[in-house]
Every structure is written in C-alpha cells, then in structure tokens.
Amino acid sequence: MLSQEWRYTMKKPTDFTRLMTSYLSSYLPLQRNVSQNTITSYCDTFRLLLTFLRDEKAMNIERLRIRDFSPGLIREYLSWLEHDRGCGISTRNQRLAALRSFFKYVSVEAPENMLLCQKIVNIPYAKKEQAAVCYLTTEEMAKLLRQPDQSSSIGRRDLCFLSLLYDTGARVSEILSLKVRDVHLSTPAKVILYGKGRKLREVPILPNTALHLQQYLTEHKLSAPEKLDRTLFVNWQGNPLTRAGATYILNKYVQMAELDTHVSPHILRHTKAMHLLEAGINIFYIKDLLGHEDISTTEVYAKASIETQRRALEKHSLVMSPATPSWVTNTDTLEWLKALGK
C-alpha cells in the first residue's frame, strides 16, 4: 500500500515537475518546434541533473521545487559533469544552454521565480580554446568532385549529392531530408532547406550543380507530380540515404582522390564558408547561407581566414623588414611624430 506522503506527491506534483514536463513535452516540440535530437539532449541534461541531486546532494528529487535551485547548485552540477563524468567543455556548455533555456521558460510561466531564474540564466559559459577550422582547398575540392564515375548511375548520384552538399554549404541532415519538391531549377536555381528548429531558408545553387540535379531528376523520372514528396537521394535499395551512407560515399571518394586529410560531411560545409570568404563574399551573406542565427558563429570562419592569410604571408614573404625601422634613427621624423601626437 502506498504511504500517505507518496499518495500526496502523486496527486499534487511540484512546480518543478509540472514545469519540466510541460517544457519538454509541449513547449519545445510544439511552440519552439525543435528537433527530436535536441529534445533528447535536453532530456539527458535533466536526467543527469536529477542523478546529481539524488546521489551527490542527497536531495529528494520527487519533491524538488524551483526554489530549491540556486546558481551555486547549478555550478556544482556543471563541475560534477566535468570532473566526475569527464565531460568536455562543449558538453558542459550544451548542458548549461539547456538549463538556461528552461529557466527562461520558468521565468515566464512562474514569474514569482524571476530573480532566481535570471541569476541562473546569467551563469557564464566556460571558455574553450578555439579549434582550427578544417577545410579543403579549391584544388582539393575540385579533385574530390572529379572522382565519381559519371558513366554509372551510382556515380552520377554521388556527384550530384556531393556537388549539392558543397554548393549549398548545408548540414548533411538538411540535404538528406530534401524532398523533390524542395528543388527549384528555374532561373535562378535554388533549393529549400529546413535547418535547426525546422527553419526554412532558400539557398541558390550554381549552374553546374543545377545541371547535375536536372539530369538526376530526369534519369530517375522524379519530375512527375506524384513523386514530389519523395526523398531526393536514396540508396541502391530505394530507401532514403542515411547519414552513415553519406559518410561512406564521401570517404570512398576522399580515398580515391588521395586527400591527405580527414574529411567529414561537415568539413564540406566549412570548405564552402572558407571559399566564400576567400572570394570576398560579405560575412552576413555567408551567415544567411549557412543558416546561422548568430553572426558570432560565422565569425569563426573570418578569424580562420585571417590566420590562414597571416601564415601564408609569413611563409612566402620575400621582403624582410629591417631590424630597426629607419625612422627610429631619424631625429626629424621623431620630432614630427611627437608633434603629430599633441
């Protein structure tokens, strides 16, 4: 028989239980329209948080209330993730991002907790060393695209897939989820991509890529109205191409091209961004093309481009600066500079 306390808990869930449930089951999927992967990640964040509170803090998680939280408790949780579970900085920051999002939601749904929520939302992300952006040179990318055998149906599909993946700078998941109706080849040619949170964006494609797509649609008779909702890229069994399948295709041609570097589908996204920057394309256009919400995400490529240029200048510079600038020993010039600074 259930105890009276447990029956009371079952009848009247705490504010934390109620808000967490509505946040994960209603707010994220229905109002924010986030992907299932994001919801799974957020659920993992709360599962680990409850494990920490139960095992490390000896708290009764069934009676947990919003007011039981504090910035210090959240920091302890983040520290536990790093030092006890061995999570990296990126994972720690992802968990914090999930909690920030939740407490922003709580501040609206339960405004009596707004001050506490603001304190938790203001917990800073941990800084990490910026990893170098890996990408292919234009020569390497061209060599990769020359590998598919255009005399075979599979080769033509692979060339079309790789060309579109590079040309759009899309996430591989965005290309894999493309339907036939998302391809528009009338001038100017473009594809409709659905990014994170199912946010729609139109991405133009170059004439060569449009030609490959037109030939692919014609070969597989995909222009018929009844096939508009078919997945654009399929495997030899006729099933939608998977992420593993995409990686296999890419690795196959990377080996054939004898590229001395690891290449993942996401590196083709980096490659497109870097090539656009090197061509002088405005970074705000690149942001929109890639589907970034924040320009700071795109600025990673700008910083990487500047660093690449600096290294190239150091490597290929033929003119060495004198050890001492000539104006240092020129009294007249020094006097002029001093006067200029007044």
Annotated catalytic residues are 171, 196, 266, 269, 292, 301
The CA dihedral of 87, 91, 95, 101, to the nearest 10 degrees, is 170
Q: How far apart are CA 80 and CA 51, in angstroms?
A: 11
Q: How far apart are CA 99 and CA 52, in angstroms?
A: 14
Side-chain-facing half-sphere of 283: CA atoms under 13 Å: 13
Reading the block at residue 77, the tokens are 């949780």
Hey, is 159 helix, strand or coil?
helix
In DSSP terms, 183 is beta-bridged to 191
Reading the block at residue 306, the tokens are 């500047």
Nearest partner of 168 among 138, 146, 191, judged by Cα: 191
DSSP state of 84: T
Reading the block at residue 27, the tokens are 């707010």
Q: Please state, in angstroms and as integers, the Cα–Cα distance from residue 61 to each residue in 22, 47, 51, 281, following that order.
A: 17, 11, 9, 52
In DSSP terms, 193 is beta-bridged to 201
Q: How far apart are CA 104 and CA 114, in angstroms?
A: 8
C-beta separation of 93 from 99 below 8 A: no
